[in-house]
Structure 1
């Protein structure tokens, strides 16, 4: 995933995910701790894929709940999205699940009064294995990109997708190139 212009909270979470993937057996992670990023922790959520292909929200932070105007726990994450955006989000979650790597959604949230806020939603698998895991969980970060005070406490009612940044599955390291000459 190309992460040139992402929010600092997104970068922090992606860096932590990469460290965990590099050494999954380690329980003592190096780098910043949760106490260093309190504003990030309240925007985190965890979703779990169910057998019916829904994505049940297992936990959600207090700031996230306030932004959407309700507690998301035990609700289908896909219910935040409608129409083509819902179908794109379902396919996007599937690509993250299959590739076993993080992805980022850029979009906007709208209140019932028409106020808008730009959003960046990061999703990353909580399992080191990609493929067909029936109970996969993903860690998510719901980050606003400015203009949050303009909402004046009104909940985000509608979510729209502007851009999807799929998992980057390129392998780093030595690459072999075959050149044939006649």
Structure 2
């Protein structure tokens, strides 16, 4: 977790999900208070499940929309990634919802002109709707200091790595160093890996034996 917006949004989700009692539950979407997130709202988004069981953007911050060069509201979430990434992301969303365990993913973004940058994406569970449909809180934050971000829109993301996050993860920010993430004792180690992480595999060249020929 490297970006300050990611840390701020995760910390606000923690505050709501753990509460004063320390018991874990999925917060209501309405409980997210804009004034507590301030400028980080530009990197925040909400996902909801539609009638077809697909995840769509209910809301996306202005910086995220600028990054992809369009308004993302009602856009299918998985459409931002190639076909090979979609099963892993779909499974990830279901795991987050059922186990109440947030997750952080590392991604590459490919722009319209072919340039690339790195971004991290947070996904965290929210209380399901009255009809049982899935709701998620998320954030997308660019990790590179590139001047063209927002001017040359991303057309596709590429999922590199997924890591579940303990709900009681302790996040420490330092001014001159990258943000440090530490685990809060045994609880974090146990709770983050109770479900299998659907890590996507890159396309690898297939090797085959060709009969005949000379040694």
Q: TM-score, normalising length from structure 2?
A: 0.66
1:24-59 alpha-carbon deviations (Å, 9 max, x no partner): 69x999xx8233xx1x21111100023422101111
Q: 2: CA distance between counterparts of 1:148 and 1:94? A: 33
Runs of 4+ in 1 over 2 A off after TM superposition: 50-53, 166-173
1:51–1:123 distance in 2 versus 1, CA, 3 Å = same
Corresponding residue for 1:179? none
Query: What is aligned with 1:172?
Result: 187
Supply the distance in 2 between the matched residues of 1:109 and 1:73 (Cα, whole angstroms): 19
* Structure 1: tracts of 5 or more residues without a match: 176-182
CA 1:124–1:169 in 2, change beyond 3 Å: closer, same or farther? closer
RMSD: 2.8
Unaligned runs of 5+ in 2: 20-26, 169-185, 191-215
Matched, 1:149 2:147: yes
In structure 2, the CA distance between the partners of 1:28 and 1:165, relative to structure 1 (3 Å rule), is closer
Within 5 Å, which residues of 2 pair with 1:117-136? 117-127=117-127, 134-136=132-134
Quick check: which has more Rg, 1 or 2? 2
Q: State the partner residue of 2:91.
A: 91
Between the aligned partners of 2:51 and 2:164, the Cα distance in structure 1 is 23
In the superposition, the TM-score normalised over structure 1's length comes to 0.77
SS at match of 1:157: strand
Inter-partner Cα distance in structure 2 for 1:95 and 1:28: 22
Q: How does 1:27-176 map to 2 (within 5 A)?
A: 33-35=36-38, 38=39, 40-127=40-127, 134-151=132-149, 153-168=151-166, 172=187
Given that residues 116 and 151 in structure 1 are in contact (C-alpha distance below 8 angstroms), is that contact kept between their aligned partners in structure 2?
Answer: no
Q: Is the 8 A contact 1:96 1:102 kept in 2?
A: yes
Contact 1:47 1:57 in 2 (8 A): yes
The alignment partner of 1:107 has SS state of strand
How many residues matched? 160
Q: Is the 8 A contact 2:106 2:120 kept in 1?
A: yes
Q: Which residue of 1 aligns with 2:12?
A: 16
Superposed displacement of residue 166, structure 1 = 2.3
